[in-house]
Structure 1
Amino acid sequence: MLTTRQGIRPLHAGDLSAFLELTGQDPVVNVFAEYRARTTNLEPRWLGGEIWGRWDGGDLVAACHVGANLVPIQATQEDAYAFGERARNRVRTVSTIVGRQPAVRSLWSSISDSWGTPRDERWEQPHLEQQLQSLVEPDPFVRRTVRADMEVLYPACVAMYTEEVGISPETGGGRDLYRARVLQLISRGWSFARIEDGEVVFKAEVACATPGAAQIQGVWVPEHRRGEGLAARGMAAVCDIVRREIAPRISLYVNEWNAPARRAYERAGFLETARFSTIMF
């Protein structure tokens, strides 16, 4: 294992081309990192952090997003360990470590003794891409949400987040920030829902997108409507819109234990293409 910081430095705007070449090696798995680079031009003030690059003979061979999320990018286990060695002596500012499982395991092994006990560790998360034709008809009632839907949509977003993450997004005075995030997704045309009689019965969002790929998040059906096929048909509808109007390839990742969600995604044409892990603080 590498135990030095040799060859690692923060990237800047002049490195954008090299970074996009790196993320382009796997544009679907790296959609978050590429989206962040394209929208910030790798400027720290817009990133809210840094992206570290590891160089070998003048070539960028791996990177690590260091902001609210710590995300290894095209990193071998050796690269990830080196990034962890650089991060271990910093005060932890990230709330989540997420990425391909081998890299996350290696990164965590180098910083776990200095970053404290995580709130949750989710080591087995299938990364899925829609690669097959959906087995179900798209739900014709799923549509993009609009600002007028906000008061109905927002409680559903809070319920989904709380169920998935284990804490409310409003904890610690986060309500205004989370409402702003939901409104941002609506304004971008990245928020989708089926609404019946003033109730959201299915919802999903695009978390990030590039010219080549989009990642779905926040898929949710209220508990009393589960088992009706709303998720599978809703996802088929969302994917049709996203593929037609946002990006040609669509991915998401899901907890391995969430069998109902995995069945819904399978029916919507998704296959596992990688294995992710997430550590939450």
Structure 2
Amino acid sequence: MLKLAGARLLTEREGLAVRSALVADPVVSCMVAARVESVGLDPWRLGGELWGVGSRLGGLCFSGVNLIPLRGGRAASRAFAERALSQPRHCSSLVGPADQVLEMWQQLEPGWGPARDVRPNQPLLAMSAPPSVAPDPLVRQVRLDDLERYLPAAV
């Protein structure tokens, strides 16, 4: 059995591996992947840190305004929680796949205190085919000039 070392800060040296890991699950990683694509892995520009576990990035987590486990099992979740507990808290929420988030939260709650809200069933939806119904003609895609009004409502 492979023993995982603690979570480590990832740098541009591991950029190719990070990008490959993000592409492996584009729906779950879309928020982080978009930032990495536009600014790279530098924490200051990224708005947070990317942490990795394992030599082949079996575990990947973003730590910024949100703590987002992107891949990894129980051992990776524990390693990420240990790293988060070892420094001042920066995030307001944990988001991502429920199994990883809930595993991390079990480790974090004793140090961070009780959650304001736990949503164990909040699916992330994506379409893989055209819609089966006609779109509402009064609904349109968001444009860049809509973002200032749209973003607060979406968050």
Q: TM-score by structure 1 length? A: 0.49
Partner of 1:8: 7
**Per-residue deviation, residues 136-181 of structure 1 (Å, max 9, x unmatched):** 211223334574xx7xxxxxxxxxxxxxxxxxxxxxxxxxxxxxxx
Identity %: 32
Measured after TM superposition, the shift of residue 76 of structure 1 is 1.0
1:68-217 equivalent positions in 2, closer than 5 A: 68-143=65-140, 144-145=142-143, 147=145, 182-183=147-148
**Per-residue deviation, residues 78-123 of structure 1 (Å, max 9, x unmatched):** 2111110111132211011011111111111111100122221111
Partner of 2:50: 51
State how far apart, in whole Å, the 2-side matches of 1:7 and 1:88 are.
12
Q: 1:22 to 1:145 in 2, by over 3 A?
A: closer
State how far apart, in whole Å, the 2-side matches of 1:113 and 1:102 are.
18
Q: 1:146 to 1:46 in 2, by over 3 A?
A: closer
Asked if the contact 1:69–1:94 (Cα under 8 Å) also holds between the matched residues in 2, the reply is yes
Partner of 1:218: 154
Structure 1 unaligned spans of 5+: 151-181, 192-204, 206-216, 220-281
Partner of 1:23: 22
Measured after TM superposition, the shift of residue 5 of structure 1 is 8.1
State how far apart, in whole Å, the 1-side matches of 2:130 and 2:107 are.
42
Q: 1:91 to 1:139 in 2, by over 3 A?
A: same
More RCO (CA 8 Å, sep 6+)? 1
Measured after TM superposition, the shift of residue 7 of structure 1 is 4.5
Asked if the contact 2:77–2:103 (Cα under 8 Å) also holds between the matched residues in 1, the reply is yes
Q: TM-score by structure 2 length? A: 0.84
State how far apart, in whole Å, the 1-side matches of 2:144 and 2:126 are.
27
State how far apart, in whole Å, the 1-side matches of 2:72 and 2:27 are.
15
Q: 1:137 to 1:17 in 2, by over 3 A?
A: same
State how far apart, in whole Å, the 1-side matches of 2:119 and 2:30 are.
20
Structure 2 unaligned spans of 5+: none
State how far apart, in whole Å, the 1-side matches of 2:26 and 2:132 are.
26
State how far apart, in whole Å, the 2-side matches of 1:5 and 1:132 are.
38
State how far apart, in whole Å, the 2-side matches of 1:140 and 1:40 are.
36
Question: Runs ≥4 in structure 1, deviation > 6 angstroms?
Answer: none
| Larger strand fraction of residues | 1
The SS at the match of 2:107 is helix
Asked if the contact 1:52–1:66 (Cα under 8 Å) also holds between the matched residues in 2, the reply is yes
RMSD: 2.5
The SS at the match of 1:72 is strand
